Amino acid sequence: MTATTADPSLKRVIGPGLLLLFVVGDILGTGVYALTGKVANEVGGAVWLPFLLAFVVALLTAFSYLELVTKYPRAAGAALYTHKAFGLHFLTFMVCFAVMCSGLTSASSASKAFAGNFGSAVHLSLGEGLALTAVALGFMTLVALVNFRGVGESVKANVVLTCVELTGLLIVIGVGAWALGGGEGDLSQLGQFNTPPGDSVVLSVTAGTALAFFAMVGFEDSVNMAEESRDPVRIFPKVMLIGICATGVIYVLVAISAVALVPPAELGQGETPLLKVVQAGAPGFPLWLFAWITMFAVANSALINMMMASRLLYGMAREGVLPRVLGRVHASRRTPWVGILVTTLIALGLIWFADLTALGGTTALLLLCVFTVVNVAVLVLRRDPVEHQHFRAPTVIPVLGALACAFLASPLSGRAATDYQVAGVLLLIGVALWAITYAWNRYVRHEEAHLDPTHLAE
């Protein structure tokens, strides 16, 4: 008997409140805590504008995801929609691989960031590089155990960590409002662009938007939890739209507070831009506390991305795109234990071997390519009606979403060449894995044909 028929189903424990915190927690996190300064390097004082534009592009794509997740409320997300729309095993596999890579690189980066903040907090000095790597590996192992324990436990941990990271951003907004209300800060910075001579302001803004988009991704992960959500057709549209809009407002307010209190050139130096904002606006605030908040914020990013990646493997194994063994569910914990094991091993390898400092842009690039495909898929799948009622996006929205995502993924947006180089290496690995998977599936079908009862009757 195959895994599809023998294994138990996933456990539906996620209601509207937990799903909202999942969406908000997945979008908030490593991106805004680390990228605000990088975006300031691109555009100067108008750092809020790229975050606003990234929010608009994300919102357009979210409408496409909502139509598809309510139409096909199953795990696997973009890969499932690509499979149904185009029926090309290679394209489906590459979309699946790109989404998984984005989640694993993001989670591994978050683990390293967690280790770095932990090292600063406890003053690690003994073999610092190796010690911090050991902390990152240990942290990722802990994430795997929470993930295996059960989706209920994972989502409850996400609730706590989301509240912590949200508190950190509200502190930044509150400090900004307090300082500006007291006559400190310089709001005139908000309209200034830091454009090098000979460069276009538009190009600087699009380059900043392409970078800021990394901070807006995460909403797409929630669709991989469809089989563990209660009544996903009903709750997903309202919850996802509220979550994206709330995080968009928070990001713009954080960007305004940051650039009003810290000069853009100074904001773009180092890896802790928001810590500088708190220090400038409230010198008496205990900075060690904010450092711990930052540490737990990136921890949440790791947990959610690993949950997404394991459910993605599970969903595509159930669809027959990946080997069925990846779709096995633990009998008592009701979690996709093989998917969790495989994704954790890959993440541990990335932590040990890879330099992930430049992968933020690559992660955004891969997801923009995936989002382009999803926006097209929603239009193709209009010819595939289903019996139940579902959310339907106005046709113009996925069209605009596809054009916007394709532009931000193209060299026309001013994206760094290194993003394409790293993405190219990852996709080449994906092509090799596809060839192995394709050969394995052909072998399995060949063996099953030989074991057909009509051949064994003799």
Q: How far is CA 341 from CA 143, 337, 347, 426, 452, in A?
A: 11, 6, 10, 20, 32
Does residue 137 contact residue 352 with C-beta atoms inside 8 Å? Answer: yes
pLDDT the model gives residue 404: 95
Pick from 82, 69, 56: nearest CA to 376: 82
Q: How far is CA 112 from CA 32, 214, 298, 302, 419, in A?
A: 16, 17, 9, 10, 20
* 3-state DSSP assignment of residue 27: helix
Q: Which two tokens stand for residue 403?
A: 């054009």
Task: Rounding to the nearest 10 degrees, give the CA dihedral for residues 138, 98, 427, 146.
Answer: 10
Q: Which two tokens stand for residue 351?
A: 């932590």
Look-up of token digits 């605000």: 36
Q: Which two tokens stand for residue 345?
A: 């091993």
pLDDT the model gives residue 58: 93
Distance between CA 151 and CA 333 in Å, rounded? 9
Does residue 207 contact residue 54 with C-beta atoms inside 8 Å? Answer: no
The CA-CA-CA angle for residues 264, 50, 293, to 5°, reads 65
pLDDT the model gives residue 155: 67
Q: What sign for the dihedral angle of Cα 237, 238, 242, 243?
A: negative
Identify the DSSP state of 74.
Answer: S
Distance between CA 205 and CA 197 in Å, rounded? 15
Distance between CA 41 and CA 56 in Å, rounded? 21
Question: Against a cut of 0.85, is the pTM above it?
Answer: no
Does residue 369 contact residue 91 with C-beta atoms inside 8 Å? Answer: no
Q: What sign for the dihedral angle of Cα 210, 215, 219, 220?
A: positive
Pick from 154, 204, 136: nearest CA to 21: 154
Rg (CA), the chain: 22
Backbone angles phi, psi at 182, to 5 degrees: -90, 10
DSSP 167-218: HHHHHHHHHHHHHHHTT-S-GGGGG-----TT--HHHHHHHHHHHHHHHHTT
Q: Which domains does the chain have, with CATH numbers?
A: 3-442 (1.20.1740.10)
Distance between CA 107 and CA 232 in Å, rounded? 26
> Taking the CB of residue 88, how many other CB atoms lie within 10 A of it?
12
Q: How many helices (H) and strands (E) does the chain have?
A: 18, 0
Q: How many residues does the chain have?
A: 458
Q: Which residues of the chain have pLDDT under 50?
A: 1-5, 126-127, 357, 455-458
**H helices of 410-452, where?**
417-450
